[in-house]
Structure 1
Amino acid sequence: MKDDHRSGGEITELRKGKKLTLDQLAVRTGSSKSYIWELENRTPPRPSAEKLSAIATELGVTMDYLLGKDQTITETDATDEMFFRKYREMDPDVKKKIRRMIELWEDE
Structure 2
Amino acid sequence: MKFGTRIKELRTQKGLTLDQLAQETGSAKSYIWELENKNPPRPSAEKLAAIASALGVTVDYLIGSDEQTLEKAEDTAFYREYSSLPEDTRRQIREMAKILGTKKAK
Asked which structure has the greater RCO (Cα within 8 Å, sep 6+), the reply is 1
Counterpart pick for 2:99 among 75, 80, 104: 104
Match of 1:55 in 2: 51
Counterpart pick for 2:75 among 62, 77, 80: 80
For the aligned residue pairs, the C-alpha RMSD in angstroms reads: 1.6
Deviation at 1:99, TM superposition (A): 1.3
TM-score normalised by L of structure 2: 0.88
Amino acid aligned to 1:35? Y
Say how many residue pairs are matched: 103
Does the 8 A contact of 1:6 with 1:65 survive in 2?
Answer: no
Amino acid aligned to 1:17? Q
Q: Equivalents in 2 of 1:106, 1:36: separation in Å?
A: 38
Identity, % of aligned positions: 54
Greater per-residue helix proportion:
2
Q: Equivalents in 2 of 1:37, 1:105: separation in Å?
A: 39
Structural mapping, 1:10-89, within 5 Å:
10-44=6-40, 46-70=42-66, 72-89=67-84
Deviation at 1:44, TM superposition (A): 4.6
Match of 1:9 in 2: 5
The residue matched to 1:69 in structure 2 has which SS? coil
